[in-house]
Structure 1
């Protein structure tokens, strides 16, 4: 039975679902294209209301913050209705649950938004943040940390399961209040808190998964400093020394200095030094191996929790690639056949590949035809940009580049390097990308991207260093100079000689 048996080939239906997140610093609306394994955001808006400013010292939500938040929620209600979101899931975090007037504010907020709002406990917030990390990075093994304006949630993830978790009062807004704006005083508070936090011992030799806008801004700054070619935050990884150096530097900068840095959001210039301080001290109190950015957090974790078990267990990357094929390929059925057709060369007793390599091969097959509508001269570049910049999850940066270059080479047979991304792959993966693209180039001139042809055409490594393409007699006319040339190119990649057999 094929791995893709039961896949639906019609384009995915547009069933938008909205999540409203009422945080200590921002109030945000994100509308996704559906309740699916890898939902794509189609609308995203936030208003920095600073609800949590002053809660630590005064115990109440600020009046001006509530006024701005309620106005934003009324707008979000209208936007969700306009977009057609039939389900709106709303949640509130630290500021609303801790403020003495939080309950009254939520009552007014529910009226403004027109739906119920779940005020999450610290434990629930940590759980949803960790589920978001698991949804976006299925192989996650480490501590997920979600930094909001009022709190920091930490939870251990191992073997696809959530373990120990804790909520700490270390959000940037809270720290600013408690420390009276002094970064030195804030450092004392953070160090005192982390010294009592046993969960950090579990980080030894493992990854810290950073969630939250403040830490995403740090990653953007590091990308700019290092001239990193792939401007995708999800799964962007920094070594512990890199993360400590950068966060320590930012913690020492003034808001005025930060506003002059293009990569840093101007709206976060006041809170970012305190958020950077939390990361720097967290790493100082732990033996973490590295830091990895997750763009999935509480909102995505909430949606992930609502999926049936079968969908939660499906492959996030292949689900996304299949949605791409259903939207953009000439024939999604053909791309599934291409997966099976390449099985003739790869696998047990053939060309060796790991499970991860097989997964990426299938993903590349599903994406192989998404550039066909572009002008022929731009199909390679179009595919390169679409894949490298897509909102895929469940894939690291080298894997993303492998997919992008494989499809780039499928259109650009000369193999000119795509953009500046090629240095993110090692030589073995480069060779594999060229090999797979050569298979695609052969497959498409045989099938014309139409289903029903590839299952009838054999391809195997024969004796005497040959690569044998077998055409049934009824399809013998498909052979010719172009097929011979493409077969020879593929055979050369394998150190073999191409041979066409009519049977």
Structure 2
């Protein structure tokens, strides 16, 4: 039985689902395209209400912040209805659960939004944030840290399971209150909490997964400094010294200076130095090997928790690529056959070597191989490169994402790539991208992208120096000059000679 047995080939149905996240700093609505393994946002809006500002010193939510939040929630209710989201899940975090008037605010918020709101405990918030990391980075091994306006949730992740977790009152808004807006006082407060946080000892030499808007802005800044060619935050990975460097820099900048930095959201200028300081001190206390950004957090973790187990355990990348095939390919069935057809060179006598991750990326590339067909022939390569490199994929690192994009780029006869993406791949990955692209070009010239053909056509490496393409007698007329040319190109990639056998 093939790995894709039971895949549904009709286009995925649009069943939007909404999540409202009432945080200490922002109130946000995100509408996703459905309750699926890799949900894609179709609408995203936030209002920085600053509900948590003053809670640490005054113990209550400010009236102006409440008014802004309720107005935003009424708008979100109307938007969710307009978009057609049948399910609206709403959560509130640190500010609402800790303020003396938090319960009254939640009652008013439920009326404004028209649905119930779950006020998460610190442990629940940490759990959902970590589930979001697992949903987006399935192989995560380290500690996830979700920095909100009022708190920092830390939870250990190993082998797809959640371990120890804690909540610390170190959100930027709370730090501003507790420190009297003094960055030096904030440093002392942070160090005091981190010196008692044993979970940080478990992070040494592993990866810290950064969740939250403040840390995403730090990543944007580092990308700009490094002239990084791929402007995708999810999966952006830097070494500890690199992360410490940018965090230390921002923690010493004033809010007015940060407002002039293009990569930093102006609405976060007041809180950025404190969020950067939290990261810099965390890295000092824990000594991780690297920091990796996760754009999946509490909201995505909440949806992930609602999936049946079978869907949670499915491959996030392949699920997304299959959705692409169902939406954009001429024949999704053909893309599945392409997966099986390319298997022939990686199994049996003289098979090419392949790791499990390379096999997974090969299947993903097969599913994406025909997504550019509707574009003008001169632009199919560039269109596919942009679609794949910029897609809202998760479950793949940046080199893997670029490998997929360049494989399909080459499949459409793309020759030069000027965006600098190729610098993210090593020579072996480049060679493999060219190899797969040549396999795809041969497959499409044989099948015309229609299902039912590839399963009848053999492709085999002999013990000698020959790559054999076997056509049944009924398909002998498929042979021709273009097939000869494509077979020769593929054989040359393998250091072989191509040969067509009929019968």
TM-score scaled by structure 2?
Answer: 0.99
TM-superposition CA deviations, 1:175-196 (whole Å, max 9, x none): 0001111100000100011011
Q: CA deviation at 1:348?
A: 5.8
Aligned equivalents of 2:416, 2:180: Cα separation in 1:
56
TM-superposition CA deviations, 1:241-284 (whole Å, max 9, x none): 01111101100000000000000000000000000000000001
Q: Does 1:109 align with 2:103?
A: no
Aligned equivalents of 2:137, 2:36: Cα separation in 1:
16
Change in Cα spacing, 1:250 to 1:348, as seen in structure 2 (3 Å) is: farther
Task: Detail structure 1 runs of 4+ shifted over 4 Å in the superposition.
Answer: none
Q: Does 1:405 align with 2:406?
A: yes
Q: Secondary structure at the match of 2:286?
A: coil
Asked if 2 retains the 8 angstrom alpha-carbon contact of 1:347 and 1:353, the reply is no
Q: For 1:16-31, what aligned pairs fall within 5 Å after superposition?
A: 16-31=16-31
Q: CA deviation at 1:419?
A: 2.5
Asked if 2 retains the 8 angstrom alpha-carbon contact of 1:92 and 1:118, the reply is yes
Gaps spanning 5+ residues in structure 2: where?
none
Aligned equivalents of 2:230, 2:413: Cα separation in 1:
20
Q: Secondary structure at the match of 1:417?
A: coil
TM-superposition CA deviations, 1:339-374 (whole Å, max 9, x none): 000000014651110000000000000000000010
What is the match of residue 433 of structure 1?
A: 433
What is the match of residue 482 of structure 1?
A: 482
Q: Secondary structure at the match of 2:191?
A: helix
Q: CA deviation at 1:418?
A: 5.3
Q: Secondary structure at the match of 1:139?
A: coil
What is the match of residue 294 of structure 1?
A: 294
Aligned equivalents of 1:99, 1:216: Cα separation in 2:
27
Aligned equivalents of 1:124, 1:463: Cα separation in 2:
58
Aligned equivalents of 2:199, 2:180: Cα separation in 1:
28
TM-superposition CA deviations, 1:422-451 (whole Å, max 9, x none): 110000000000000000000000000000
Aligned equivalents of 1:463, 1:361: Cα separation in 2:
24
What is the match of residue 498 of structure 1?
A: 498
Aligned equivalents of 1:287, 1:256: Cα separation in 2:
31
Q: CA deviation at 1:287?
A: 1.7
Q: Does 1:360 align with 2:367?
A: no
Aligned residues: 502
Gaps spanning 5+ residues in structure 1: where?
none
Aligned equivalents of 1:155, 1:23: Cα separation in 2:
19
Q: For 1:222-371, what aligned pairs fall within 5 Å after superposition?
A: 222-347=222-347, 349=349, 350-371=351-372
What is the match of residue 91 of structure 2?
A: 91
What is the match of residue 386 of structure 1?
A: 387
What is the match of residue 125 of structure 2?
A: 125
What is the match of residue 172 of structure 2?
A: 172
Q: CA deviation at 1:416?
A: 2.5
Q: CA deviation at 1:463?
A: 3.9
Asked if 2 retains the 8 angstrom alpha-carbon contact of 1:220 and 1:263, the reply is yes
Two-structure CA RMSD over aligned residues (Å):
0.7
